[in-house]
Amino acid sequence: MISFDHVTKLYGETPALSDVSVNVQDGEFVFFIGPSGAGKTTFLKLLTREALPTKGDITLDDWKVNTLPTSQIHLLRRRVGVVFQDFKLLADRTVYENVALALEILGKDDREIARDVDKVLELVGLAGKKYLFPQQLSAGEMQRTSIARTIVGGPGVLLADEPTGNLDPETSWEILDILQEINDIGTTVIMATHNASIVNDLKKRTITLERGEIVSDEARGRYHIHKKARRLRGKP
């Protein structure tokens, strides 16, 4: 389970998150929505220890993330994988090599790497493109490669930060189908998004952030601005 207990994150005197308390159970699929600057990316960064909270506690399973020794952060990041909007692929490596790199870092042997990479490329629909370079791929194929690289090591939690932000609607849905498949096999998925149609159609748990505060947490959410959010913006 993931738990944020009264977490505040300040950048200077500006709050990115303000007294946020929320739990995410193992195996959930959760959307984080809200306008730019609402705190979605900060939430994800705190969970991977890219940033530390100013106040409050963050736990993942038995780990207290904010007090985890520096020497153990790499273990946390094996447990929590991240998919980015801009793919972050290595241009001089093939699809296979980009995905294999994650296993090489874990010290897997060549046989294990070949088996696991082929398996995950099959899952994301890239089995026939493993020897292509990123510049030979479409945007959707690059995002599929990014997802494959993230999940090949078997993380229990997948964080997706606007993974469809650079994609057309049809390709966005293809990526969501993959994320749902990953969730179906037991991986917790937390996705920050501005894509209203995806949120409205899938009706997953949806947490709305506004100016660093949680203003809504709905079991079958929709993408909309809540009354509290409008008040925070000074609207009636």
- The whole-angstrom separation of Cα 50 and Cα 177 is 28
Q: What is the pLDDT of residue 110?
A: 94
Confidence of residue 226 (pLDDT cuts 50, 70, 90): low
Handedness of CA 182, 187, 191, 197 (dihedral sign): positive
Between 178 and 84, name the one with better pLDDT. 178
Q: Which overall architecture, per CATH, does domain 2-232 show? A: 3-Layer(aba) Sandwich (3.40)
Please check the confidence at residue 229 and state whether its pLDDT lies above 50.
no
**Statement: residue 222 has pLDDT above 90:** no
Q: What is the DSSP string of the chain?
A: -EEEEEEEEEETTEEEEEEEEEEE-TT-EEEEE-STTSSHHHHHHHHTTSS--SEEEEEETTEEGGG--GGGHHHHHHHEEEE-TT----TTS-HHHHHHHHHHHTT--HHHHHHHHHHHHHHTT-GGGTT--GGGS-HHHHHHHHHHHHHTT--SEEEEESTTTTS-HHHHHHHHHHHHHHHHTT-EEEEE---HHHHHHH--EEEEEETTEEEEEETT------HHHHHHTT--
**Which pTM was predicted?**
0.89
pLDDT tens-digit readout, 35-48 = 888 999 999 999 99
**Dihedral sign for Cα atoms in the order 56, 58, 178, 218:** negative
Q: Which of 114-118, 180-184, 230-234 shows the lowest per-residue confidence on average (mean pLDDT)?
A: 230-234
For the stretch 152-167, pLDDT in tens is 999 999 999 999 988 9
Is the pLDDT confidence value at 201 over 70?
Answer: yes
Predicted pLDDT at 210: 93
Residue 235 above 90 pLDDT?
no
Q: Domains of the chain: which residue ranges?
A: 2-232
What pLDDT sits at residue 225? 58
Mean pLDDT for the stretch of residues 48-76 = 94
pLDDT class of 234 with cuts at 50, 70, 90 = very low
Q: What is the mean pLDDT of residues 119-136?
A: 95
* Reported confidence tier of residue 231, pLDDT bands at 50, 70, 90: very low
Q: What is the mean pLDDT of residues 23-28?
A: 97
User: Would you state the pLDDT for residue 37?
Assistant: 87
